[in-house]
A and B are shown apart, each in its own frame.
Chain A
Amino acid sequence: MGVKAVHRITTGRNGLGAFILQCKKMDFHYCDWAGSSKGMNGFIKSILPKFAAAHPQIEFTVSPRPSKHPVIIGHYINGRDKAICVRNLEPLQILKKVELLRDASGEKLKKVTKPVQSINESVRGIWSPYHGNGMRV
């Protein structure tokens, strides 16, 4: 007799209460010698220190990768990562790519067709043919 309970857990809603940036780590790889890393080296010297100071919630690592194109890898909370090759790019173009990685959620790219996605139930309810006065045909 009485009511029994079903075991379930709550669903997180990031941004409601607390916001956790999904990008948790960024790796910067450069080459001292190769020409394709010229912009990357400039970025690491001039822009990266300010960017890193503005984003304490991201862990930054900088490491050389000799004889290879420069690359930026973003690691995300969902366990995935995203890599962008920044060969022959200017420092400001690289900054755009870094901002793209920072703002990404880490999910695979999807085509978004509906402007709003929600886990809340519809305010209006679901239309029912058995209620209301109906319509004479």
Chain B
Amino acid sequence: MRTSRPDQPFRAVRHQSTSALALDSALEATAADEPYDDGTDHVRFPPLERLPNATKLPSPLPERALTSAKLAALHARLSLPQKLPLQTLARALVDISADENPLFNNVNLAFVGQTITHYHVAEWLMCRYPRLPMTIMYAAMKAYAGDETLHSVARSWGVESAAEPGGEVDSGLLQFSMYKPVSHIGFGYGRKDNSRVEQGRWRRGIANRVLFDDDFGEQIGYDTRKKAQIPTSSQRTFSYGTEETRAAAERAHAAAVRAVVGSVYAHCGREAGKAFIRAHILSRTIDVSTLFEFKSPVVELARLCQREDFEPPVARLLSETGRLSRTPVFVVGIFSGKDKLGEAVAGNLDHARYKAAMNSLKSWYLYSPGENVRVPSEMLVEGSKAWEPTYIDIGEIIHG
């Protein structure tokens, strides 16, 4: 018995090897049968190596993340905690247009990231500027967390993109396809029929947008741009791309940033996620007063004074020079009783009055309790101070 035991596995191995040989020879036979064989001596000139199996995959395997220098450098550049593994960071860089499988692309992470980002941006803006009208609030949200902004965040991180996605691509490159139409996730309450709004049959006012649309007050599943054709592979002769390809790149970069936020939240927790958003998104700056575009500032200011029981606003000329010259200058102030609400300088009287009304409205709308105002999410930390109610405004002056 003892002598026969080692024979059995040995025989099995021989069986395997001979069968493998037979397979190889069969493969060679099929290769030789192919029609484009030009009679080259394959012993003397062996055929090129076959492409690795990875090329068949839509995105690189997770274990390849550990050997990517670019990915490790990106991880260190963002000062991500060690708890966040490289494999997750690699997954955050695979867009849905590269790999449709939700187990390998960043859609789920991006969804978490988007929710967390929008929550922190919204609470911070609302506590900091409690009187912003809803349209400006939406614009400010988009200025901080919109696709265009997050695209520039990704570029400032030094995220490079692959020319074309695939399993053989370095895991440290952002992978997306510009030529594949995909529906990116949007979070909100979609309408049943967007065409009714397009035709103007359904009114889409501000209250309606709060109820239905996404976090930027934009319709879900409706692209404001005209639907243009996505170029096929044979039409890819242009070097700078089209509007659609640039939009696809923008969406993919933004999704990657959201996915990185989502993965920080998933692996390191709520406070780390919040700190990451504060460091990379809320630390950016914008002058909120440049977001306003007034239609009829004088009427709006009069309505404001009426609502707040101020005396009706009166425009007074404070100072002027060169009324009859080529370049006159008028300084107009708007007063409510003895209080000056605002003033402006312009080249003619009407313009100065409009500008003064706009400045008065802006000084009302842009009231802020301070830069370092407390936000509700600070209460989630244990041992935080008791919450003092924040200032909440009663609402819009004129509803749009």
CA distance A29 to B321 in the complex (A): 68
Give B295 Cβ to nearest chain A Cβ, in Å: 6
Report the minimal beta-carbon distance from A73 to chain B, rounded to whole angstroms. Answer: 15
A137 in contact (CB, < 8 A) = no
Is B295's CB under 8 angstroms from A4's CB? yes
Interface contact B135-A5, CB-CB below 8 Å:
yes
Flag whether B400 is at the interface (Cβ < 8 A).
yes
Residue contact A9 to B152, C-beta cutoff 8 Å: yes
Given contacts A1-B400, A2-B400, A57-B76, contact A11 B146 (CB under 8 A): no
Residues of A within 8 A of B280 (CB): 17-18
CB-CB under 8 A for A8 and B139, given A2-B398, A20-B156, A58-B73: yes
Given A1-B296, A3-B292, A18-B280, A56 and B73 touching (CB < 8 A)? yes
CB distance from B398 to the nearest CB of A (A): 5
> Does A10 sit within 8 A of B, measured CB to CB?
yes
Which A residues, 5 to 49, have Cβ-Cβ distances below 8 Å to chain B? 5-14, 16-18, 20-21, 24-25
Contact of A6 among B153, B291, B396 (CB under 8 A): B291
Contacts of A131 in B (CB 8 A): 319, 331
Name the A residues within 8 Å of B103 (CB-CB).
none
Q: Is A10 a contact of B285 with CB atoms below 8 Å?
A: yes
> With the chains together, A36 CA to B329 CA distance in Å?
69
CB contacts (< 8 Å) of A11 on chain B: these are 284-286
Chain B, Cβ-Cβ closest to A75: B158
Instruction: Give the nearest-CB partner of A55 in chain B.
Output: B76
A22 to B72 alpha-carbon distance, docked (Å): 16
In the complex formed, the residue of B with least CB distance to A79 is B155
A14-B156, A59-B69 are known contacts. Are A3 and B77 too (CB-CB below 8 A)? no
Q: Are A119 and B285 in contact (CB under 8 A)?
A: yes
What residues of B have a CB within 8 angstroms of the CB of A13 in the complex?
283-285
Contact call B293/A3, Cβ cutoff below 8 A: yes
- Min CB distance A58 to B, Å, is 6
B77 and A24 contact, CB distance less than 8 A: yes
A130 touches B (CB below 8 Å): yes
Asked whether B384 is an interface residue with its Cβ less than 8 Å from the other chain, the reply is no
Identity of the chain A residue whose Cβ is nearest the Cβ of B135 in the assembled complex: A5
A20 near B77 with CB under 8 A, answer yes
Q: How many B residues have CB within 8 A of the partner chain?
A: 57
Q: In the bound complex, how far is the Cα of B292 from the Cα of A59, in angstroms?
A: 44
- Per-position 1/0 for A85-109, Cβ under 8 A of B: 0000000000000000000000000
Given known pairs A2-B135, A6-B291, A8-B291, the reply for A56 and B76 (CB within 8 Å) is yes
CA of A4 to CA of B206, assembled, Å: 11
The contact of A8 among B75, B143, B155, B345, by CB within 8 Å, is B143
CA distance A32 to B152 in the complex (A): 42
The answer to whether A59 touches B284, judged by C-beta atoms less than 8 angstroms apart, is no
Cross-chain contact B149 with A56 (CB below 8 angstroms): no
Q: Does B118 touch A at the CB level, under 8 Å?
A: no
Does B136 make an interface contact (CB < 8 A)?
Answer: yes
**Does B290 interact with chain A (Cβ within 8 Å)?**
yes
- Verify if B270 is at the interface (C-beta below 8 Å from A): no
**Are A5 and B77 within 8 A (Cβ)?**
no
B313 at the interface (CB under 8 A from A): no
Assess whether B168 is interfacial by the CB under 8 Å rule: no
Contact indicator B149/A9 (Cβ below 8 Å): yes
CB-based contact A2/B148 at 8 Å: no
Say whether B279 contacts A130, CB under 8 Å.
no
In the complex, whether A117 has a CB less than 8 A from a CB of chain B is no
Contact of A6 with B156 at beta-carbon distance under 8 Å, contacts A11-B284, A16-B283, A17-B279 already known: no
Residues of A with C-beta under 8 A to B300: 1-3
Name A16's closest neighbour in chain B (CB-CB): B283
- State A137–B286 Cα separation when bound (angstroms): 42
Counting CB contacts under 8 A, is B144 at the interface? yes
Does B79 have its Cβ within 8 Å of any Cβ on chain A? Answer: yes
Residues in chain A near residue B75, CB distance under 8 A: 56
Is B138 part of the contact surface with A, judged by Cβ < 8 Å? yes
Q: How far is the CA of A11 from the CA of B148 in the complex (A)?
A: 11
Q: Say whether A9 contacts B283, CB under 8 Å.
A: no
Contact A1 B295 (CB under 8 A): yes
Q: Is the CB of B290 within 8 A of A3?
A: no
Known: A3-B293, A5-B138. A57 touches B73 (CB 8 A): yes
A25 contact set on B, CB distance < 8 A: 73
For the complex formed, measure the closest distance between the CB of B399 and the CB atoms of chain A, giving whole angstroms.
7
Is B349 interfacial (CB 8 A cutoff)? no
What's the Cα separation between A25 and B365 when bound, in Å? 46
Sample 5 A-B pairs with CB under 8 A, ordered by A number.
Answer: A6-B290, A17-B283, A56-B73, A57-B73, A131-B319
6 new A-B contacts at CB < 8 Å, known A1-B296, A2-B400, A130-B318: A8-B290, A10-B284, A12-B152, A20-B156, A56-B72, A59-B72
